[in-house]
Amino acid sequence: MIGRRARRGCARIFVLALAGIVALAVYHGVTWPDVEKLVGSNPRSTAFIERYRDKLRDRGLPDAVDWTWVSYGQISPHLKRAVLVGEDIEFFSHRGFAPNEIRKALADAWERRERPRGASTITQQLAKNLWLSPSMNPLRKLREALLTRQLERHLGKKRILELYLNVAEFGPGVYGAEAAARHYFGKAASQLSPAEAAELAASLPRPSAWHPGSASRAYRRHVRSIQNRMERAEFLWRLI
């Protein structure tokens, strides 16, 4: 039989654990992002931009980033298509998650005996960029899933894509389609050609190393892959 002292000890542990859960729930409730606000207003910054600025400050450098916001109509349809075929071809048909891509990622990992590659949708990537971190912590992934559901519930697909194209990192300190187009090609995002769009979209998986001008063979292969997929994905023209 469990003694009285042991029972009191277990009760205290239970109360402390419960108090911790309640405190955590209150914290997340107070700090939870106002997703619906994005219907009519643009974010002033993002978690990923602030993370990059923190790194610059830690190194004693100016914390400025290259970032200019533009509307959906000011972004080349070629870039929209390139990003969709490269990152989330099922974007307009899913509700935030792509089960087919997850299954493919798991199958590829099993065949190669490697960790599963990322299979995040554009909506999931937007949630992570705006409010979270690159960590694979299960709690972080749970928050990402909940925020993804909210984004899909409150915002239309084109608004989600507009937000993503404006906050995605296209190279070190270069955020959003407009800044990327001017930084790498000296032109507005609305003027990007199909080839230029493919180069920018190919940078998204590894923006610190993959971007226009990179000598990486893997990056160049990814550019060609996106170009080939763009040619086949004619159906996207009627969606974007």
pLDDT in tens, 129-145: 999 998 888 999 999 99
What is the pLDDT at residue 2? 55
What is the pLDDT at residue 98? 86
CATH of the domain at 112: 1.10.3810.10
More confident residue, 23 or 66: 66
Tokens of 170: 């296209």
Answer yes or no: is 27 within a domain: no
What would the mean pLDDT of 159-173 be, rounded to a whole number? 98
Q: Which domain holds residue 216?
A: 46-56+76-238
With a cut of 70, say whether residue 32 has pLDDT above it: yes
Which amino acid, one-letter code, is at 41? S
Mean pLDDT, the chain, integer: 86
Structurally, the chain folds into a number of domains equal to 1
Worst-scoring range by mean pLDDT, 23-32, 67-76, 156-165? 23-32
Burial 102-134, CB ≥16 within 10 A → b, else e: eeebeeeeeeeeeeeeebbbbbbbbbbbbbbee
With a cut of 60, say whether residue 111 has pLDDT above it: no
Answer yes or no: is 117 within a domain: yes
Structure confidence at residue 112 as a pLDDT band (50, 70, 90): very low
Answer yes or no: is 178 within a domain: yes
Structure confidence at residue 4 as a pLDDT band (50, 70, 90): low
What is the pLDDT at residue 114? 42
Burial 166-193, CB ≥16 within 10 A → b, else e: bbbbbbebbbbbbbbbebbbeebbbebe
Answer yes or no: is 71 within a domain: no
What would the mean pLDDT of 215-222 be, rounded to a whole number? 96
Q: Per-residue pLDDT tens for 68-102? A: 999 999 999 999 999 999 999 999 999 999 876 55
Answer yes or no: is 1 within a domain: no
Query: Where in 117-207 does DSSP place strands (E)?
Result: 169-171, 174-175
With a cut of 60, say whether residue 16 has pLDDT above it: no
Answer yes or no: is 40 within a domain: no
With a cut of 50, say whether residue 15 has pLDDT above it: no
Structure confidence at residue 228 as a pLDDT band (50, 70, 90): very high
Q: What is the pTM of this model?
A: 0.83
Answer yes or no: is 189 within a domain: yes
Residues sharing a CB contact under 8 Å with residue 203, sequence separation 6 or more, in sequence order: 170, 171, 180, 210, 211, 212, 214, 219
Answer yes or no: is 186 within a domain: yes
Cα distance between residue 129 and residue 47, in whole Å: 6
Reduced to 3 states (helix: H, G, I; strand: E, B; else coil), residue 23 is: helix
What is the pLDDT at residue 21? 35
